[in-house]
Amino acid sequence: MTAKIIDGKAIAAQIRQEAKNEVEVLKDRGVTPCLAAVLVGDVAASKVYVKNKRKACENIGIASVLHTPTAEISEPELLKLIDELNHDQAIHGILVQLPLPKHIDETKVIEAIDPSKDVDGFHPYNVGRLVIGLDTFRSCTPAGVQELLLRSGIDVAGQHVVIIGRSNIVGKPMANIVVQKQKGANATVTICHSRTRNLPEITRQADILISALGQPQFVKPDMVKQGAVVIDVGINRIDDPSSDKGYKLVGDVDFEPVSKVASAVTPVPGGVGPMTVAMLMVNTIKAARMLLK
Ligand code: GUN
């Protein structure tokens, strides 16, 4: 068997087109959605992510402003910047790119963001609403995975979804999204992590395996049930002297051999990555729309 390749790039482009149409409607009603991005310091991958997010904004007509404090910014100074953005009426969404420098407490920063502008869905208020099944801002990557499955015609209802990774950004919200009694959900969920015993035994039970642990090519074919759907959330840089950049991007899944076992699989790049950006656009529009109600 050769797996169907789920084209995240194409599905994300479709979502961005829908978002563009919604932005036009909002503009007709006098509101231009605006995202404030905060990029602290000089982390190469973070710079690329923020650049991609701002480019997506520009393409669909969302305004964006960028703040780039140096890695030396103090925690109180960063909290002050967030407070200013919270009070700025022209800004609908605030995105603080993670990770932050070691001397800054990420939790404090996330908790400082006004939950109604928390387009990343990281604030405990929004996470709590997600857990109890209320409408809220949801973390963009897991929300993107759900959308990818929905639009690929893969119904998770009643299926065993196994997630590798328990991060606050992906693993935990992913589990809470697909377990809900809602459309695109109703799954049976298992979360695995670094302390899980007999990991391959559990992953082999997955109808849908979602890998979000951040280790290059960790998922091998003997960890995957024949015919399972495999979603690769990992974006890992590995050395590649043959490339101009000196590195290449690979996922958490050993793509070639796994695609001989799975029924469908997402590639890296071009799978989940573009969905994260598309869902950020959706969340920013949602934040702007909330003002009209
Ligand atoms: N770092 C890794 N993923 C993300 C994300 O989705 N949002 C933010 N703000 N930082 C991240």
Residue closest to 141 by CA, chosen among 203, 186, 98, 105: 98
Catalytic residue among 97, 146, 159, 217: 97
Going from the Cα of 144 to the center of ligand 1, the distance in angstroms, rounded, reads 13
8 Å CB contact between 213 and 165: yes
Residues 111 and 194 in one domain: no
Query: Ligand 1 pocket, 262 CB below 6 A?
Result: no
Residues 149 and 268 in one domain: yes
Known active-site residue 51: no
Where among 71, 104, 127 does a domain terminate? 127
Residues 194 and 242 in one domain: yes
Residues 121 and 35 in one domain: yes
Known active-site residue 225: no
Query: Ligand 1 pocket, 95 CB below 6 A?
Result: yes
Residue closest to 49 by CA, chosen among 112, 12, 98: 98
Query: Ligand 1 pocket, 120 CB below 6 A?
Result: yes
**Residue 198 CB partners (closer than 8 Å, separation 6+):** none
Q: Confirm whether 122 is domain-assigned.
A: yes
What is the domain extent for residue 174?
Answer: 140-273
Residues 156 and 249 in one domain: yes
Known active-site residue 97: yes
Where among 98, 127, 156 does a domain terminate? 127
Residues 119 and 225 in one domain: no
Tokens at 123, concatenated:
């604030």
Going from the Cα of 225 to the center of ligand 1, the distance in angstroms, rounded, reads 30
Block means of pLDDT (10 residues each) for the chain, length 293 residues? 95 98 97 98 96 98 98 98 98 98 98 98 98 98 98 98 98 98 98 98 99 98 98 96 94 98 98 98 97 77
Would the pTM of this model clear 0.75, i.e. be above it?
Answer: yes
Q: Confirm whether 39 is domain-assigned.
A: yes
Q: What's the CATH number where 108 sits?
A: 3.40.50.10860
Query: Ligand 1 pocket, 169 CB below 6 A?
Result: yes
In this prediction, residue 103 carries a pLDDT of: 98
Indicate the top mutation candidate among 38, 39, 48, 49 to test ligand 1's pocket, ranked by most ligand atoms within 8 A of CB.
49
Q: Confirm whether 9 is domain-assigned.
A: no
Q: Confirm whether 282 is domain-assigned.
A: no
Residues 220 and 159 in one domain: yes
Residue closest to 10 by CA, chosen among 212, 234, 267, 232: 267
Where among 82, 101, 127 does a domain terminate? 127
Q: Confirm whether 53 is domain-assigned.
A: yes
Going from the Cα of 42 to the center of ligand 1, the distance in angstroms, rounded, reads 15
Residues 61 and 176 in one domain: no
Question: From start to end of 139-223, where are the E strands?
Answer: 160-164, 188-192, 208-211
Residues 117 and 182 in one domain: no
Residues 196 and 242 in one domain: yes
Q: Confirm whether 114 is domain-assigned.
A: yes
Catalytic residue among 7, 118, 120, 254: 120
8 Å CB contact between 69 and 82: no
Total domains in the chain come to: 2
In this prediction, residue 293 carries a pLDDT of: 67
Using CA atoms, how far apart are residues 45 and 214, in angstroms rounded to an integer?
14
Query: Ligand 1 pocket, 167 CB below 6 A?
Result: no
Residue closest to 16 by CA, chosen among 67, 52, 47, 50: 52
Q: For residue 280, which atom of ligand 1 is closest to its CA?
A: 6
Q: Confirm whether 56 is domain-assigned.
A: yes
